[in-house]
């Protein structure tokens, strides 16, 4: 998964063997807090949706690596120094998934992998090599290939919010609590998505 600054990515992963990753409402909320902690420092969240056995994020990458202050760690205190290390967005996503997995395994008294081994990230406004998987949805989405950098972000945005409807969990996108569709409908004042940035790329 190679992420580059200044591009929009559709990031997604699912439960190992298609199994559930969220078991109650608190799990969904806990995962959202982890997104804020581990992804928001690097990227603007443009859209998100958490499904019972997978998740989708649409993000604009602002930084691919950031310094992490290690002040207060045992090693730095022992030598009386203040140091920092670099953490990449890729690594931070890995921390998010591993820490969530540990919490769920503890909750369920289980062990092993919760997510599929590889998290996927598709660039949806790159100028070349755009092949987003969400295009093939029974002919529902249409792409204007002459200006893909404008069409793909809108298509991805719509696709992410339509997930609960297509899965027949709800009738309307705004009926699914664990999605940014409610925020864009101004029915909730969610703090995770950046509507101002999103408005530059999509219509809502």
- The SS3 of residue 181 is helix
- The rounded distance, in Å, linking the Cα atoms of 86 and 136 is 38
Provide, rounded to the nearest whole percent, the portion of the chain with pLDDT above 70: 80
Mean pLDDT for the stretch of residues 146-152: 62
Whether residue 72 has pLDDT greater than 50? no
- Do residues 164 and 51 touch, judged by C-beta distance below 8 A? yes
| pLDDT tens digits for range 35-60 | 999 999 999 999 999 999 999 999 99
Q: What is the DSSP letter of 48?
A: E
**Is residue 180 over pLDDT 60?**
yes
Indicate the pairing of strand 43-51 with strand 84-88: unpaired
SS3 81: coil
Name the more confident of 164 and 81: 164
What is the side-by-side strand order in the sheet with 8-14? 43-51, 54-61, 8-14, 120-123
Q: What is the pTM of this model?
A: 0.84
What mean pLDDT do residues 170-184 have?
98
- β-partners of residue 87 are 66
Q: How far apart are CA 133 and CA 107, in angstroms?
A: 33
Q: Taking the CB of residue 42, how many other CB atoms lie within 10 A of it?
A: 22
| 76-83 mean pLDDT | 45
Q: Count Cβ atoms below 10 Å from residue 161 Cβ, excluding itself.
A: 24
DSSP string, 52-79: TTEEEEEEEES-SEEEEE-TTSHHHHHH
- Residue 56 corresponds to which tokens in the numbers above? 């989708």
Residue 1 pLDDT: 74
Indicate the CATH number for domain 8-62+89-198: 3.30.70.1290
Residue 79 has pLDDT above 80, yes or no: no
Residue 78 has pLDDT above 60, yes or no: no
Three-class DSSP category at 97:
helix
How confident is residue 76, by pLDDT bands cut at 50, 70 and 90? very low
User: Which has the higher per-residue pLDDT, 172 or 68?
Assistant: 172
């Amino acid at each position: 998964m190679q992420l580059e600054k200044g591009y929009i990515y559709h990031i997604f992963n699912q439960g190992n063997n298609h199994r559930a990753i969220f078991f109650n409402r608190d799990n969904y909320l806990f995962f959202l807090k982890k997104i804020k902690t581990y992804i928001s420092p690097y990227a603007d969240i443009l859209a998100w949706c958490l499904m019972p056995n997978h998740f989708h994020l649409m993000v604009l990458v602002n930084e691919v690596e950031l310094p992490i202050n290690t002040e207060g760690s045992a090693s730095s205190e022992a030598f009386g120094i203040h140091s920092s290390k670099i953490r990449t967005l890729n690594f931070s996503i890995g921390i998010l998934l591993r820490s969530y997995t540990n919490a769920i395994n503890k909750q369920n008294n289980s062990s092993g992998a919760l997510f599929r081994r590889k998290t996927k990230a598709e660039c949806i406004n790159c100028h070349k090599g755009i092949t987003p998987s969400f295009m093939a949805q029974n002919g529902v989405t249409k792409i204007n290939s002459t200006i893909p950098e404008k069409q793909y972000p809108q298509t991805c945005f719509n696709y992410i919010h339509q997930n609960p409807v297509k899965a027949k969990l709800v009738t309307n996108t705004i009926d699914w609590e664990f999605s940014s569709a409610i925020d864009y409908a101004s029915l909730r004042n969610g703090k995770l998505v950046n509507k101002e940035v999103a408005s530059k790329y999509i219509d809502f």
